[in-house]
């Protein structure tokens, strides 16, 4: 087995540990057009990505070594009012590069947190400032995105298996059963290069990812 193949399972394990460090960005209420920006409602936060020990199992078991934000799993909850601005300084205290992806939030392309595509990785001992105004209300996740759903836009499922969908709510991820098809529609109103990929890591590694350029 070559070195690259030996590293793949470890990378996936580290990625999954990173996913355990998810936290919420609650916004008040559902999707709609963004309000005018209120810089008086600025929320500033600091996230430190570092190794830690977390008691994920019952107390009779030892703690679990994790990579988390601010030493906790999940990471801290960030709260910002709809129309307010969120400014987050991310500091990397890990031994390899990282980024933060704001899952489901329609951020500007430069804030999407996809390494190489939208920003260079935050190198060990480095930092990066994320700043944006969340255009939609809701509860969202933030997490590392080391391996590169469709970023930057929300979409509607207009048909499944060639049959029109009765429900056409706004989504950022769609679940497909084996041999199922889905037709989606969205407005390409957020310029930049955006990842479009499966969320199953093995499927990503097999090539189920692409890039959509909005100009």
pLDDT digits (tens, 9 = 90+) for 96-119: 889 999 988 889 989 988 887 888
Whether the model clears a pTM of 0.75, i.e. scores above it, the answer is: no
156 assigned to some structural domain:
no
Instruction: Give the range of the structural domain holding residue 73, as residue numbers without chain letter.
Output: 3-146
CB atoms within 10 A of CB 90: 22
Please give the angle made by the CA atoms of 143, 84 and 104, to the nearest 5 degrees.
30
| pLDDT higher than 60, residue 34 | no
pLDDT of 120-176, one tens digit each? 889 999 999 999 999 888 888 898 875 434 456 778 888 888 889 887 777 777 777
* Domain of residue 96, CATH code: 2.60.40.420
35 assigned to some structural domain:
yes
| Helix boundaries (H) for the chain | 3-19, 201-205
pLDDT of 174-206, one tens digit each? 777 888 888 888 888 778 777 777 766 666 666
Domain count, the chain: 1
């Amino acid at each position: 087995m070559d070195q690259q193949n030996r590293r793949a399972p470890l990378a996936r394990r580290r990625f999954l540990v990173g996913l355990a460090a998810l936290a919420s960005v609650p916004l008040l209420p559902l999707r709609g057009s963004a309000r005018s920006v209120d810089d008086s409602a600025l929320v500033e936060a600091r996230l430190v990505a570092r190794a830690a020990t977390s008691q994920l199992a019952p107390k009779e078991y030892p703690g679990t070594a994790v990579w988390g934000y601010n030493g906790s799993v999940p990471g801290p909850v960030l709260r910002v009012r709809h129309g307010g601005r969120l400014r987050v300084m991310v500091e990397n205290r890990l031994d390899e590069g990282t980024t933060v992806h704001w899952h489901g939030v329609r951020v500007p392309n430069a804030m999407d947190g996809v390494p190489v595509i939208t920003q260079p990785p935050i190198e060990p001992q480095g930092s990066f400032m994320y700043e944006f105004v969340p255009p939609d209300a809701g509860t969202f996740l933030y997490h590392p995105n080391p391996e590169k759903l469709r970023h930057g836009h929300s979409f509607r499922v207009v048909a499944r298996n060639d049959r029109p969908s009765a429900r056409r709510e706004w989504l950022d991820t769609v679940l497909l059963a084996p041999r199922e098809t889905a037709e989606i529609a969205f407005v390409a109103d957020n310029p930049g290069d955006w990842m479009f990929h499966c969320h199953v890591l093995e499927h990503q590694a097999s090539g189920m990812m692409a890039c959509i350029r909005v100009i």
